[in-house]
Structure 1
Amino acid sequence: MGREGHRFAGWIQIIALLCLCCASAAQLSFSVSEEVDKGTVVGNLAKDLQVNVHELEKRDLRIVSGNSKKYFDVDLNTGVLYVCDRIDREELCPNTAKCSLNIEAILSHPMQLHRIEVQITDINDNAPSFREKEKTLNISESSSAGERYLLPVAKDADTGSNSVKSYKLSPNEYFSLDVQSGGQHIESAELVLQKSLDREKKSIINLVLIALDGGKPARSGTLKITVHVMDVNDNTPIFGEPLYKAQVTENAPFQTSILTVSATDLDEGINSEIVYSFIERGDFNPNALFSLNPETGEITVEGNVDYEENTAYDIRIQARDKGTPSRSAHGKLLVEVIDVNDNTPEIIITSLMSPVKEDAEIGTVVALVTVTDKDGGNNGLTSATILGVLPFKLKLNYKNYYSLTVDGPLDRETVSQYNVTIIATDGGSPSLSSTSLIPVHISDVNDNAPLFSEPVINIYVKENSAVGGTIFTVTAADPDTKENAKVTYSLLDGFPKDIPIPSVVNINSETGDIISLQSFNFEELKMFQFKVQATDSGVPPLSSNVTVNVLILDENDNNPTILAPYSEHGSINSENIPYSAEAGYFVAKIRAVDADSGYNALLSYHLSEPKGNNLFRIGTSTGEIRTKRRMSDNDLKTHPLVVLVSDSGEPSLSATVSIEVVVVESTADIQTQFRHVPIKEDNFSDLNLYLLIAIVSVSVIFLLSLISLIAVKCHRTDSFSRYSAPMITTHPDGSWSYSKSTQQYDVCFSSDTLKSDVVVFPAPFPPVDGELISINEGDTFTRTQTLPNKEKPKAPNADWRYSASLRAGGVMQSSVHMEESAVMQGAQGVLVQNWPTASSAADAEGGEVSPPMGAGVDSNSWHFRYGPGGPGAPPQHLKPGEVPPEAFIIPGSPAIISIRQNQGGEDDKSDFITFGKKEEAKKKKKKKKEKKDKKDKGKDDGDE
């Protein structure tokens, strides 16, 4: 196959490709006349698009036009396309034979785009018109028949059959009209001279040229022609070529030469001199763009030549001689404009969806984009792309029509607006480009729940705070907008479960203010917990929770409370101390508690300064009251003390307790006035219970062991020996009486008892030559030896102290066991001497008893001293159960002594036995002494 065969095959492929493109880009075509009334039906879109009329509204059928004005719209109820604005074809498509409007019909769900071309048909609404109202022709009388004179062309804005179709000349005898047509258009009308003119007969001939269009009815325009009959110039100029052609580049510089025309005249002289000029035809004036040298015929560029306005210019040139009358001829010039890439692409945006929902699916159409370029050829071919990486893409629909669609996920909270930049580039060399910015707003979807700044909120509230006050404000932020970001607050269940949260606090659903509904008491409730839920107003609503811990802050609203034994209100507590108390002697311990906490419960003890000498001090933190110094004779016997217990709160609260400290002469006075006050245990914990059980168990085991040991010891003795002892009585004047009436005692000794086990001295101490009465095995009371002077007992020390165990009601455990409360009871109204109370303090001078380390039941190293009292000390009256302090027992061996009182052979009688001075009274004075004793006894009964 030769070159011609290859070329033919290439043309076949190009034609097939064009047909394929036209088939893929099929469009609907309609036609409508211009100037039709609004509402005129153009066509039925529902039928042509094959869409049910009832689905048009659901699928949101819309008409989009690329023009600034919207000429067509669609009726969704009927599906017809109708005219919605006045259409003027001459305004839309000036100087063009074909006029059409391109619109798009868009269907949603699914998205479909249909291109519609509406042909605008012309109506005869414009009459032909001449640029000039009057034309003057100078025709020589020598003109021969058949000469032609070019007449102006009428202009009609209509096209096709409505344009200028014919010319008529008013009836006359000299001229006829010759119309030359080029296809469907009339190119020129010429006046033809029919016969020779005679200036002497008629010098001016008036003609009327009528232009008629092809409309029905036809419209017409007239031109008045005045013919001046001139005298002889019988040769007309002749152009060298019937048609001149030239090319000029658009935007060519001024004075650029295009070409030079030339005409000749056969006449001579002035009748052969030619002047060149442009002939104006219609609405185009060649002088606006080009310049013609009248002498030389050179044509140059005089204005802005624009390819986009006209691709070519059809110019008529006149050559007129200078004869009288002058003759002229006209020639044709066709100037072709060469395109230059001087126009950037134009981007037209038609927005369809703004804003776009952030949950829009991929492929959703955002906008329609049309790109145009006024240049021709490759300079007018365009392409468009999106600048940058964005979740959008530009999809080519048809030729230079594009759709901007969603191409990725959208998130308004991340980016609320995209500025999509579209760049369009033409195919020129060099190419030109333009950009257009499309702001795409993203609308919100409720896809974010309200969020609190932290998962747990701690609120500190002072106790006793005012009811109804705002204690805290919770805030939750929602990155959504409008209703999706409108947050409301509510309360959820709290902790502890037994606290009804709605009755304790409330929350403002709009502001998040948490309001207290009651006053808090730290001593009853230290903290509680609840949850706050924040819910937005979206559909569906989203929510989140935050845990709120309300911690009650303590206020100093509780006074210190004095604990037992000094907790009785309105009473004065009394404490006794011996006169011989040293500095630092323990008087009492004040205990207090405060229901508050922290510094509000940190207590300090202060002692109000008593009148007189400052004798006592108190531990600021311990509450122990002790003496500061030894007492002197100038000190008062009774010291009223006021103890102030203060907490560390602001302001500080306090409580007071009054204690009266009484100074007594001897420790025996302290013992007799001692009273046991149980200490109330406020908080009895499980640990205390376990300790108490352990102590009781050990004590029971020890007691059982002790009883078992006593039983074994007593079982080994042969029998109880019954002893009788004479009764010795002391009198107030210091005398003694001896009675033969005896009191019998059951004494249990161990088998190895070898000497006296009991020695009894009178108060305050036996005389130098006093005899001791001892109990020996196998006989009754007998005199033993006299105490020498060197063994004379010392005077009792007044500083007698009793142990804390005795203050608490404890029992001293030793190797001596006394039945019936371990005391010897005296008869009613009988003067007796008090027994001393044993103490664990190791004081050699204080009348105390101190066991050696490791002393037990078998220990014989106990030391006893009698207590206070002295020469001339008055006898004391004893109550049943009290122990005479001036009697004492010295166990001489590790024997366990059990003494039973028997008088007259009868048990359980209150009687007493005293052991005193030596028996100085003689029998001869016995009766006298007994009388005196009875007399004194009567007096004592009266005093008692």
Structure 2
Amino acid sequence: MVYYPRGDPGARRLLPWLLLLAAWRAGSAQLRYSVPEEAQHGTFVGRLAQDLGLPLAELVPRLFRVASRAGGDLLEVNVQNGILFVNARMDREALCGRSAECSVHLEVVVERPLQVFHVEVEVRDVNDNPPVFSRQEQRLFILESRVPDSRFPLEGASDLDVGANAELRYKLSANEYFDLDVKSNEEGTDFLKLVLKKPLDREESQEHRLVLIAIDGGRPELTGTVQLLINVLDANDNAPEFDKSIYNVRLLENAPNGTLVIQLNASDADEGINKEIVYFFSNLVLDDVRSKFIINSRTGEIRVNGELDYEDCNLYEINIDAVDRSTFPLSGHCKVIVKLLDENDNAPQLDITSRFLPVREDAPVGTVIALITVSDRDSGANGQVSCALTPDVPFRLLSTFRNYYSLVLESGLDRELVSGYGVVVTARDAGSPALRASASVWVEVADVNDNAPAFAQAEYTVFVRENNAPGCHLVTVSARDADARENARVSYSLVERRVGERLLSSYVSVHAESGRVHALQPLDREELELLRFEVSARDAGVPALGSNVTLQVFVLDENDHAPWVLPRGAGGPASEAVPVWVSRSAGAGHVVAKVRAVDADAGYNAWLSYELLAAPNANANGAAAAASGGARLPFRVGLYTGEISTTRSLDEADLARQRLLVLVKDHGEPALTATATVLLSLVDGGQAAAAAAAASSSRAGTAAAAAAAGGAAALLDVNASLIVAICAVSSLLVLTLVVWTALRCWAPAAEGACGPGQPALVCASAVGSWSCSQRRRQRVSGGEGAPKADLMAFSPGLPPGPTSTDTDNVSV
């Protein structure tokens, strides 16, 4: 509660803020309030939300609450208006005892984002406890011979309040013999002494009854009383005396039993039995003190007789009486003040509260994990506590208030590396030797979808034979996700694209859960030699993460295509037999024609060989020649080149027309074949050139050349030598040009540029052949671009056969 001064209203408005600022600077709490003890339920303490700068509309959504219950349920906050109010009766003496300061520490937490505030509420003392004497009656024995101004100790009162409310003053009931003397020592303890004002007369009065009144300094004042019963003793004129009236002793707590506290020594000026002194605890000594110490009545030694604990009580006042052995004994009095020195006998205590667990692996640095409270019952350096964490953990301790810490995140977390941390908080005091205490908390790291699935291989390569069965298994892809639960559940799918004019999904499929890849249809190597595509793996996190892997499916060749004989004429069918003119003057080994064929397969399946089969000739002489044996045939065909050459010199006995049947066979299993028919016409040397020219002109479709040849024949019949000579020269020139042009256009190196349609490139030798077929292009699919032409080659290591550079070689 804040008290406003009288006077200026402006000052009254400004005063609370000045008090709040002073309290802020005085303490280390973020907010400091004050409330009197014994305040009723609902008493206003402060506008907590307003002072913390929190909008009222955000209190409920952000879970505004008091997280710490260090003060029990004494204080509560209204989450609707943010006002802190008294929830239960507060007894300052029960909370803090005789401590000069008494505060209730609160931890106020708001979330989203998380904020922790420390509020200190001072509990002000009110004068609710009257002074109390330990006994209802104090009895004193005073010798009648005691001179005026003699002093007799009295037990003072105690007040559970503090400050001005505990400042006591004393008053003695009116009488003519006694007065009261009150003094305070350096420890702040009042010493009461009853002072004799005039001599006593036992014969006049043996007993005096007085009332001692204790009055505190509160408003209103409270009082306590005790009866003083004074018995007047007769005789004994010298009382024992101590050399000091007060003895101060410092003693370590936990001193073992029997430890000497002090040895008292009193003296008496009397003689004989009146000189002998016996020591006793005064009847003012409380039972608790008697249980801690023992006195030797003969020697005056005071020793420890119980357990001394600084944290329970650090100061003991022991009143001692020294009494002589006279029939009417006299006594001397002193006080022994035993002040205990603290030892480091209490280990720190740790309490971990408000654990905000588990913590996400993407939590920002500074995130509060838990709140930690430390305490130590010792005092001074023995009660100064420092905290430390287990090394090599991504957390640190942040001191938020006296003996209050927050466990906060210091660096980033990665659940895939470490899924949890066992954090041990160690508290160590500054005593010697230091005492320690530990408390542990398991910090679980919650998974975040921060890892994409990773495939076991960077690339998958698969080989499958063409003409496979639909649905056959090609390969199983596998991806692993380092995350957990849903974030690690992987599903597979194709990365759709077009393969030529068709979609990739018409060729292959992938199972979403197992990653098994299947071919949906038979594959044709001649159409698609390499199928290159991607499979995607995605997890089930939010948002989902994914990665791709490349698959290369190589289609292996099967011998499913027979050889194909290339047509000899421009666009003519391969089965059409075109006559080849051969001069009878040709010698052995002369190449007269060449059969050209290709195979759409690859490797051994496209390796071609040529054989010469017997073909029925057009006349009987040819049949007889064929019947006479293959040794008589004047022609042969190269096994791997397809070149038809003479086996010997031609003569007049050889038939003028020869029909050769050539078998073309691949090396597949089983082998596939094709045949080609070659017609050879044997002519004399002079007629061979003309026949070849005529044939070339006929294949090229030049009717003018044929007419010129007919005209030349007519001129020969007229025997006009001059005209014959001119025509012969002209014909020779035309033939030369036509033959040169035909050879240029039909040569293997120029077919792609001059031949009509789609030519085929064929290179052959005596040991093998390789070809690139334009009739049915082999395709490789690796992207969205056009397919690439495939070059198939075979070149075994066999000795080369004979070659010829004769320009009359013709392909069929």
Q: Structures share a fold, TM > 0.5?
A: yes
Asked if 1 retains the 8 angstrom alpha-carbon contact of 2:381 and 2:430, the reply is yes
Kept in 2: contact 1:257–1:300 (CA 8 A): yes
Cα distance 1:181–1:120, how it changes in 2: closer, same or farther (>3 A)? farther
Alignment match, 2:648: 854
Deviation at 1:46, TM superposition (A): 4.1
Provide the rounded CA distance (Å) in 2 between the counterparts of 1:143 and 1:455. 113
- The residue type paired with residue 180 of structure 1 is V
1:317 aligns with 2:317: no
Query: Paired residue for 1:90?
Result: 93
Letter of the structure 2 residue corresponding to residue 812 of structure 1: N
Q: How far apart are the structure 1 equivalents of 2:489 and 2:89? A: 49
User: Structure 1 501/700 Cα, relative in aligned 2: closer, same or farther at 3 Å?
Assistant: closer
Distance 2:480 2:209 in 1: 93
Among 616, 625, 645, the alignment partner of 1:811 is: 616
State the distance in 2 between where 1:700 and 1:417 align. Answer: 87
The alpha carbon displacement at 1:42 in A equals 1.7
What's 1:30 paired with?
A: 33
Counterpart Cα distance in 1 of 2:517 and 2:574: 56
Summarize deviations over 1:681-731 as a string: whole Å, max 9, x none: x8455x43468999988995645558999xxxxxxxxxxxxxxxxxxxxxx
Summarize the alignment of residues 538-617 of structure 1 with structure 2, pairs less than 5 Å apart.
538-546=541-549
Q: Return the match for 1:118 from 121, 127, 143.
A: 121
Q: Which residue of 1 aligns with 2:394?
A: 391
Per-residue deviation, 1:75: 4.1
- Cα displacement string for residues 868-906 of structure 1 (whole angstroms, at most 9, x for unaligned residues): xxxxxxxxxxxxxxxxxxxxxxxxxxxxxxxxxxxxxxx
Alpha-carbon deviation of 1:294?
1.7
- Cα offset, 1:276, TM superposition: 1.9
Residue 394 of structure 1 and its aligned partner are, at CA, apart by 4.1
Cα distance change, pair 225–533 in 1 and its aligned pair in 2 (3 A) = farther
Separation of aligned partners in 1, 2:451 and 2:92: 55
1:428 to 1:501, Cα distance in 2 relative to 1, 3 A: same
SS in structure 2 of the partner of residue 816 of structure 1: helix
Partner of 1:751: none
Residues 515, 695 of structure 1: CA spacing in aligned structure 2 closer, same or farther, 3 A cutoff? Answer: closer
Written as runs of structure 1 = structure 2, the 5 A alignment for 1:363-382 is 363-367=366-370, 374-381=377-384
Once residues 115 and 175 of structure 1 are traced to their aligned partners in structure 2, the CA distance between those partners, rounded to angstroms, is: 60
Match of 2:627 in 1: 839
Identity of aligned residues (%): 37
- Which residue does 1:449 correspond to in 2? 452
Deviation at 1:99, TM superposition (A): 1.5
Aligned CA distance change for structure 1 residues 444 and 851 (closer, same or farther; 3 Å)? closer
Aligned residues of 1:520 and 1:552 also touching (Cα < 8 A): no
1:295 correspondence with 2:298: yes
Partner-residue secondary structure (3-state), 1:484: helix
CA contact (8 A) 1:348 1:370 kept: yes
1:886 equivalent in structure 2: none
For residues 494 and 300 of structure 2, the distance between their equivalents in structure 1, rounded to whole angstroms, comes to 100
Q: 1:273 aligns with which of 249, 259, 276?
A: 276
1:543, 1:392 → 2: CA distance?
A: 32
CA separation of 1:519/1:424 partners in 2, compared to 1, >3 Å: closer, same or farther? closer
Q: In structure 1, the residue corresponding to 2:94 is in which secondary structure? A: helix
Q: Please, which runs of 5 or more residues in structure 2 have no aligned partner?
A: 1-21, 587-610, 636-646, 657-812
CA–CA distance in structure 1, aligned partners of residues 150 and 177 of structure 2: 10
Q: What displacement does 1:26 show?
A: 7.8
Alignment check: 8 A CA contact 1:163 1:214 kept:
yes
Alpha-carbon shift at residue 270 of structure 1 (Å):
3.7
The one-letter code sitting in structure 2 at the alignment partner of 1:238 is E
CA distances 1:291-312 after superposition (whole Å, capped 9, x unpaired) = 3222222233444444455554
CA spacing shift, 1:688–1:70, aligned 2, 3 Å:
farther
Q: Retained in 1: the 8 A contact 2:476–2:515?
A: yes
Matches within 5 A, 1:703-718: 703-704=580-581
Structure 2: distance between partners of 1:356 and 1:342: 37
CA distance in 2, matches of 1:38, 1:691: 118
1:411 is aligned to 2:216: no
Is 1:477 matched with 2:480? yes
Per mean C-alpha deviation after superposition, the further-off stretch among 293-302 and 350-359 is 350-359
Q: What amino acid does structure 2 have at the position aligned with 1:300?
A: R
- Indicate if the aligned counterparts of 2:149 and 2:196 stay in contact, CA closer than 8 A: yes
After superposition, give the CA deviation of every residue in 1:479-513 in whole Å (9 maximum; x if it has no partner): 333443454555543786746749986746xx547
Going from structure 1 to structure 2, the CA distance change for 1:444 and 1:861 (only over 3 Å counts) comes to closer
Name the structure, 1 or 2, with higher relative contact order (CA <8 Å, separation 6+). Answer: 2
Contact 1:494 1:528 in 2 (8 A): no
- Equivalence for 2:783: none
Structure 1 equivalent of residue 538 of structure 2: 535
Provide the rounded CA distance (Å) in 2 between the counterparts of 1:334 and 1:262.
16
Structure having the higher Rg = 1
* Conservation of the 8 A alpha-carbon contact between 1:164 and 1:186: no
User: Per the alignment, do residues 206 and 551 of structure 1 end up closer, same or farther by CA in structure 2, a change over 3 Å counting?
Assistant: farther
Superposed, which structure 2 residues align to 1:766-805 within 5 Å? Answer: none
Aligned residue pair count: 594
- Conserved 8 A contact 2:511-2:517: yes
Tell me the SS of whatever aligns to 2:565: helix
Q: Is residue 2:141 matched to residue 1:157? A: no
Residues 573-614 of structure 1 show CA distances to partners (whole Å, capped at 9, x for unaligned) of xxxxxxxxxxxxxxxxxxxxxxxx99xx9xxxxxxxxxxxxx
Distance 1:40 1:295, change over 3 A: same
Letter matched to residue 854 of structure 1:
R
Secondary structure (helix, strand or coil) at the match of 2:627 reads: coil
| Residues 264 and 300 in structure 2, CA contact (< 8 A), matched pair in contact too | yes
> Structure 1 842/152 Cα, relative in aligned 2: closer, same or farther at 3 Å?
closer
Rounded to whole Å, the distance in 2 between the matches of 1:58 and 1:287 is 60
Structure 2 residue aligned with 1:688: 565
SS of the residue corresponding to residue 285 of structure 1 reads: helix
Tell me the TM-score normalised to structure 2 length.
Answer: 0.57
User: Which residue matches 1:180?
Assistant: 182
Matched, 1:335 2:129: no
- Pairwise CA distance, 1:73: 4.9
Partners of 1:98 and 1:805 in 2: how far apart? 126
Please identify, of 215-224 and 239-248, the stretch whose mean Cα deviation from structure 2 is larger: 215-224
Q: Distance in 2 between matches of 1:50 and 1:125?
A: 36
Q: In 1, are the aligned partners of 2:470 and 2:522 still within 8 Å (CA)?
A: no
Structure 2 CA distance for aligned equivalents of residues 493 and 68 of structure 1:
67
2:383 pairs with 1:358: no
Deviates more, 1:325-334 or 1:473-482: 473-482
Structure 2 residue identity aligned to 1:328: S
Cα drift, residue 466 of structure 1: 12
What code does the residue aligned with 2:190 have? E
> How far apart are residue 93 of structure 1 and its match?
1.2
Q: Kindly provide the CA deviation profile for residues 222-258 of structure 1, in whole angstroms up to 9, marking residues without a partner as x.
A: 6676666666555543322122122223444543333
Match of 1:287, SS state, is: helix
CA 1:534–1:695 in 2, change beyond 3 Å: closer, same or farther?
Answer: closer
> CA 1:502 to 1:127, structure 2 compared with 1: closer, same or farther past 3 Å?
farther
Q: Which moved more, 1:127-136 or 1:328-337?
A: 127-136
Helix, strand or coil at the partner of 2:317? strand
C-alpha spacing 1:122/1:697, structure 2 compared with 1 (3 Å): closer
The one of 245, 248, 251 aligned to 1:248: 251
Match of 2:264 among 254, 258, 261: 261
474 and 695 in structure 1: CA distance in 2 versus 1, 3 angstrom threshold: closer
| Alignment check: 8 A CA contact 1:141 1:230 kept | yes
Q: How far apart, CA to CA, are the structure 1 residues paired with 2:87 and 2:507?
A: 68
Separation (CA, whole Å) in 1 of partners of 2:628 and 2:227: 161
- Please state whether the residue corresponding to 2:496 is helix, strand or coil: strand
CA contact (8 A) 1:840 1:851 kept: no
